[in-house]
Amino acid sequence: MNRKIKISELAPFDLAEYLQDEADLVEYLNQVVADGDAGELAHALGVVAKARGMAQMAEAAGIGREALYKALRPGSQPRFDTIARVCAALGLRLTVQSAVQAD
């Protein structure tokens, strides 16, 4: 007997629940950066901040919790200063490397 499951009965997917350790966070953010979507980067930082505890991240970044939620929602365009402060609060560093490979 097959029981059909309604979409409304499924629990919402929350990626933050699956980011278990530092390696998971770094891999996730590196993939988002590689995709090159600034709005998605803001959202990804929000997911990582949520995984670490949004209130704690907001305090460490010196940004109000509600302001942090707003800045890191999907499709937002936060200032670089906000991105840098969130990365610092997360203990992460943005780096630059050449996209051109040397021969």
- Dist. CA 32–CA 72, nearest whole Å: 14
Residues 9-50 have pLDDT tens digits of 888 888 888 888 889 989 999 999 888 888 888 899 999 998
Contact 90, 49 (CB under 8 A): yes
Task: Name the nearest CA neighbour of 45 among 86, 88, 15, 75.
Answer: 86
User: What is the pTM for the complete model shown?
Assistant: 0.78
> What's the average model confidence in pLDDT over 41-65?
92
